[in-house]
Amino acid sequence: MADHFSNHRNNTGGNLAFCIDIIGQKIRSRGATASLPPGPRGLPIVGYLPFLMFNGKNIPLHRQFTHLAAQYGPIFKIRVGSQLQVVVSSPSLAKQVLRDNESIFSSRDLPLAIRVWTYGGLDLSSLPMSQDWNSMRKVVLREVLSNPSLDRCYELRRSVVVKALRELVRSGGKPVGVLELANKMVANATMAMTWGGRDDDGDVDNEEARRLCEEVMALMEKPNVSDVFPLLARFDLQGIGRKVAEVAGHFDRIITSVIQKRFDGKGSLIMDDGREMKDLLQVLLENRERSGAGSPLASITQFKALLLDITPGGTGMVATVIEWAMTELLRCDKAMTKVKRELDDVVRLEGLVEDHHLKKLDYLDAVVKETFRLHLTVIQREAVQPCTIGGYAIPKKAKVMINAWAIHRDPRLWEEPSEFRPERFLDNGRPLDFVGSSSDFVYIPFGSGRRMCVGFNLATRLLKYVLASLLHSFDWKLPAGEGGSTVDVSDEFTLIIKKKKPLTIVPTPRLSCSDLHA
């Protein structure tokens, strides 16, 4: 079976299109002054906004961008309110943005809701590239979210996941909303790892913290007029900034009290079976203490902003991908059978999935990668100075969007791109990892370069652990009357690409081990 990579290289039509694209870029770059990329005309003041919002067919943004790219080419511009947006949809242009000019596209446009939530844009994702950003990123990558650190807090996430599995057993085969379940498992596991809190006996009211995170995510997903007309931001016409500030105030009280308890020596490390487990907060605090006053984390507000990158961070994204993976597996019997057979071989029916099994689950890994390929989103950067991309001028402050969704479904790059075929990640002489540059920017689920996602390690480990646990512990069926091919796959664009209609399925326990029936 041809893999996507050799397909990418052998596809003559695709290569021809790329050559034409590159020759075009070269010719344009010889011109004296580069012009702005082509693009549809909009209306005065509002630009192209009404066409994006009220197109009569409710087409989500990533799909509209893909249609526009078919018309105007792999780089086009649109004006949305007072903002110039440039959308790129080819690996070579993604490389120019994410790698060749990474110091120019090193910033992100900050929507009002995110600015308010992150103490004015102090978290890693919002900060411009700077010495402080660099030091914090290193701490997060090398210490907080490194593999050894995630190993040390395994028991914390395990206890949450096992508890949720037991609750599902007790629920006696009632239909379950997968996104809701995954959100709860992922958010509780992330909070447990971050500050050791547990639903029942922890230092923190995790239920309340989770509710607040969901509330703020819902506010962030709302289109906000302040973001397309920054001059209007101070009036906060829809009241989104005010509502986020309220939720942020409650959440701030929770994390301030967690941190204060640690400073006071209370609520410290979790001891279990005589073993010491370090949660991620403890790792951060130890680093802060070691680095002293010179550390960017010396400021308590900065410290709290960094915590927000982890909890809630990308937890919503992880849960959404779990829902997509379940959806695809229910639509594809062959893949479902294969993934379950692998789980039976590696984990065996006597026990639950454990962290150490994950490395041996190659097919599950391919299922996750294929789900990322099909259902991921748009990567957003901002130009901090003018530059040229693909031979076109990109002005300072232009918002550049890389339509990863379109690249991941480009028929010139992927064989039968709309098909869910995890095998494409296995039949490959050179398996793709999650780092965009190693795939020539054909596959970029976590972005690339110095601003690539710092949470990819946590995200992939947690995602695989929760998904494998759900698949191994239960058989999942659609409610009576629904067949696999009828599962709805329509999507919508919010901050991420979500399933439009939530997936509801019925679990039947398949393991008899005591862990599940305790």
What are the residues binding ligand HEM (CB under 6 A)?
Answer: 98, 124-125, 137, 309-310, 313-314, 317-318, 321, 376, 379, 381, 445-449, 451-455, 458-459
Residue (165 or 400) nearer to ligand HEM, CB: 400
Minimum CB–partner distance for residue 251 and ligand HEM (Å): 16
List all residues 6 or more positions away from 422 whose beta carbon is below 8 Å from its beta carbon: 335, 338, 339, 363, 366, 367, 369, 370
88-91: long-range contacts at Cβ-Cβ below 8 A with a sequence spacing of 24 or more?
88/389, 88/390, 88/400, 88/401, 88/402, 88/403, 89/65, 89/402, 89/403, 89/406, 89/407, 89/410, 90/18, 90/21, 90/407, 90/410, 91/407, 91/413, 91/440, 91/441, 91/442
Q: Is 513 annotated for ligand binding?
A: no
Nearest CB to ligand HEM, comparing residues 203 and 309:
309
The nearer residue to ligand HEM, 95 or 243, going by C-beta atoms, is 95
If the CB atoms of residues 7 and 206 are measured against ligand HEM, the closer one turns out to be 206
Structure tokens at 302: 């900065």
Toward ligand HEM, which CB reaches closer, 73 or 455?
A: 455
Q: Give the HSE-up count for residue 70: Cα atoms under 13 Å, Cβ half-sphere.
A: 10
Measured from the CB atom, the residue of 49 and 407 that comes closer to ligand HEM is 407
**Least separation, in Å, of the C-beta of 350 and ligand HEM?**
31
Rounded Cα distance between 386 and 396, Å, is 4
The owner of tokens 């209609």 is 501
**Helix, strand or coil for residue 258?**
helix
- Whole-number Å distance between alpha carbons of 197 and 279: 9
Rounded to a whole number of angstroms, the minimum distance from the CB of residue 66 to ligand HEM is 17
Per DSSP, the residues of 195-227 read H---TTTSSS-HHHHHHHHHHHHHHHHS--HHH
Give the CA distances from residue 167 to residues 73, 163, 179, 190, 387, in Å, rounded to whole numbers and listed in that order: 51, 6, 16, 19, 55
State how far the Cα of 479 lies from the Cα of 209, in Å rounded to an integer: 32
Least spacing, CB of residue 220 vs ligand HEM, in Å: 14
Q: 165 or 466: whose CB is closer to ligand HEM?
A: 466
Q: Evaluate whether 445 touches 51 at the Cβ level (below 8 Å).
A: no
Q: How far is the CB of 140 from ligand HEM (least distance, A)?
A: 7
d(CA 139, CA 407): 32
What minimum distance in Å lies between the beta carbon of 301 and ligand HEM?
A: 17
Helices (H), 2-153: 4-10, 12-30, 49-53, 61-72, 91-95, 112-117, 131-139, 147-152
Q: Closest CB to ligand HEM among 217 and 511?
A: 217
Taking the CA atoms of the chain, what radius of gyration do you get in angstroms?
Answer: 23
Q: Which of 454, 136, 450, 146 is nearest to 299 (CA)?
A: 136
7/85 with CB nearer ligand HEM? 85
Smallest gap, in angstroms, from Cβ of residue 87 to ligand HEM?
A: 15
Please give the Cα distance from 435 to 52 (Å, whole number). Answer: 31
Q: How far apart are CA 252 and CA 308, in angstroms?
A: 10
- How wide is the angle at C-alpha 146 spanned by C-alphas 142 and 149, nearest 5°? 115
Nearer to ligand HEM (CB atom), residue 163 or residue 381: 381
**CB of residue 99 to ligand HEM, shortest distance in Å:** 10
Nearest residue (CB) to ligand HEM, 182 versus 317: 317
Q: How far is the CB of 437 from ligand HEM (least distance, A)?
A: 11
Instruction: Quote the crossing angle between the two packed helices 206-221 and 315-331, to the nearest 10°.
Output: 80
Q: How far is the CB of 322 from ligand HEM (least distance, A)?
A: 9
Return the SS3 of 242.
helix
DSSP 114-162: HHHHTTTT-STTTSPSSHHHHHHHHHIIIIISSHHHHHHTHHHHHHHHH
Residue 465 Cβ vs ligand HEM, minimum distance, rounded to whole Å:
13
Annotated binding site: 453
Annotated binding site for heme: 453
